[in-house]
Amino acid sequence: MRTSDRDAEFTAFVTAQRARLLRAARLLAVGDEALAEDLVQTTLTKVYIAWPKVQRADDPVRYAHRMLTNAFIDETRRAYRGRERTEAQPADPATAVAEPADPTLRDTVMAALTGLAPQQRAVVVLRHWLDLDVEATAQALGCSTGTVKSTNSRALAHLRTALADVTDDLTTRSTS
Amino acid sequence: MTDLTDLLDRASDLGEPPMPVADDLTRGRAALHRRRRRNGLVALGSMCALGVIAGFGAPAVLDRPAEDSPRVVETPDSELFAANQTEGPYTFGKLPVGWEVQGSYPQGVTIAPVGFPDQEPASFVGKLVIMYDQNPVSGEHREYNGREFYTNTEGDHDSVRVRTRAGEPEGIVSVQYPDSAGWDVETMIEFLDAVEVGQGALPGLG
């Protein structure tokens, strides 16, 4: 593959998908913006290296999200002190500082996600934010569908309790 | 009744700022290059010629040229002609005679002489490069057509920078060009003044 083709395709992919990857990373990192940015950078670097493979995937976007989730799982297994920090900051600090539309809701949801184990958080993000089915989630995490179902079940039980302040009837679109 | 997907969606949405796409590309290219070097697929020393962008504050989207391209290529002096060419978010009111657009990115455009040996669109060396960023302006000040232009010379290349117009994305648009092209600064100010930056432009990082 010519470098120019790879660059152009990758640039288009990143332009279209970076924001969504960052949002997924933000949920996985429970609001740690630096970690979320690190995860996205790590993921996109791997995406560039594996671009021909990513491009051939049935769904390159999901493929990238799988890589992101794996980067997150790897990160949780690594000692904090060994983690490399973000290489570059967003383009302009003045515009990069963003605020959630509902800070209270965000804090509550992030606190609820913090109470989940990393694997549970990954399942919640893949199943309920990215809308992957059980099989795709299992494939992404390298575990069995049974593990996904049980992990998801425990995670939802926790979230129903932790989010009681914002909703007394938490529903999901996905079936477990 | 509250849907979990909706809650996650709202919690993760910060109204994303401009994304540093150029840096992602630079990291990816560097990582791929390191991997290839480790694998022996690229000869030692092939990481030469970051080219005229080094230390220049240019968007990092553009990297080394094709490995067989010369470091500096002599290009003929060329006059500008009236054009109305749009490449991505950039529109050129004028272009140099005998030059053509090679690469177009949200962060900028590369323009090279027709038949230029280095056909790598993401390479800067010996080319005329339009960039958009949000870095501070500095350099020798000149006024043209009611706008403040700033000129700089570094190594074998020159540059002109100017703030974008009202209605364009806020920031700086600049042109970088090789000494060997033979253009005087007035010509390049005239060229840059005719560049319009559209809403799809993304700031590069310097």
Question: Which residues, listed in sequence order, are joined to residue B157 by a DSSP beta bridge?
Answer: B154, B178
> Can you tell me the distance from the alpha carbon of B169 to that of B198, in angstroms, rounded to the nearest whole number?
7
Question: Which residues, listed in sequence order, are joined to residue B196 by a DSSP beta bridge?
Answer: B91
More confident site: A140 or A84:
A140
- The helix or strand, by DSSP H or E, that contains position B3, with its residue range, turns out to be strand B2-3
Q: Report A:127-146 residues touching B (Cβ under 8 A).
A: 128-129, 131
Of A26, A88, A172, the CB nearest to B23: A88
Residue of B nearest to A166 (CA): B2
Average pLDDT of the segment spanning A78-89: 46
pLDDT of res. A146: 93
Give chain A positions within 8 Å (CB) of B29. 3, 7, 48
More confident site: A8 or A167:
A8
More confident site: A20 or B142:
A20
Contact B203/A at CB under 8 A: yes
Contact of B110 with B103, CB cutoff 8 Å: yes
Question: Which residues, listed in sequence order, are joined to residue B178 by a DSSP beta bridge?
Answer: B157
pLDDT tens digits along A57-67:
888 998 899 88
Q: Inter-chain contact A171–B202, Cβ cutoff 8 Å?
A: no
Q: Is the dihedral of CA B123, B129, B133, B139 positive or negative?
A: positive
Contact B6/A at CB under 8 A: no
Question: Which residues, listed in sequence order, are joined to residue B131 by a DSSP beta bridge?
Answer: B108, B174
Query: Residue B10: exposed, middle, or buried by beta-carbon count in 10 A (0-12, 13-18, 19+)?
Result: middle
Helices (H), chain B: 4-12, 21-38, 185-193
Q: What is the pTM of this model?
A: 0.52
Task: Tell whether the model's pLDDT for residue A166 goes beyond 50.
Answer: yes
pLDDT of res. B181: 77
Contact of A21 with A43, CB cutoff 8 Å: yes
Task: Tell whether the model's pLDDT for residue A23 goes beyond 50.
Answer: yes
Task: Provide ipTM, 2 decimals.
Answer: 0.80
Q: At what angle do helices B21-38 and A3-28 cross, to 10 degrees?
A: 110
pLDDT of res. B105: 87
pLDDT of res. B18: 62
Give chain B positions within 8 Å (CB) of A131. 5
Enter the tokens of residue A25: 């990373």
Q: What are phi and psi of B169, to 5 degrees?
A: -55, 135
pLDDT tens digits along A38-56:
999 999 998 998 888 888 8
Q: Inter-chain contact B2–A102, Cβ cutoff 8 Å?
A: no
- Picking from A64, A98, A46, A15, the residue whose alpha carbon sits closest to that of residue B21 is A15
More confident site: A115 or B184:
A115
pLDDT above 90 coverage of chain A, percent:
40
- The helix or strand, by DSSP H or E, that contains position A50, with its residue range, turns out to be none
In Å, how far is A45's CA from the nearest CA of chain B? 4
pLDDT of res. A11: 92
Contact B167/A at CB under 8 A: no
B125 vs A76, A152, B28, B59, CA distance in Å? 42, 53, 20, 14
Give chain B positions within 8 Å (CB) of A41. 23-24, 27
Q: Report A:60-99 residues touching B (Cβ under 8 A).
A: 87-92, 95-99
Residue of A nearest to B36 (CA): A49
> Can you tell me the distance from the alpha carbon of A77 to that of B66, in angstroms, rounded to the nearest whole number?
39
Task: Tell whether the model's pLDDT for residue A150 goes beyond 90.
Answer: yes
Average pLDDT of the segment spanning A85-99: 46
pLDDT of res. B75: 42
Q: Report A:45-64 residues touching B (Cβ under 8 A).
A: 45-49
How confident is residue A112, by pLDDT bands cut at 50, 70 and 90?
A: very high
- Beta-carbon contacts of B49 under 8 Å, excluding residues fewer than 6 positions away, are B64, B65, B69, B71, B125
**What is the rounded average pLDDT for all residues in chain A?**
82
Residue of B nearest to A103 (CA): B11
Q: What is the pLDDT along chain B (206 residues), one digit of tens a residue?
A: 568 888 898 888 887 666 668 889 988 888 887 766 654 432 222 222 333 333 333 333 333 333 333 333 334 445 788 888 888 899 999 888 888 888 888 889 999 888 888 888 877 888 899 999 888 887 778 888 999 999 887 756 788 999 999 999 999 999 998 877 778 888 899 999 999 999 999 887 65
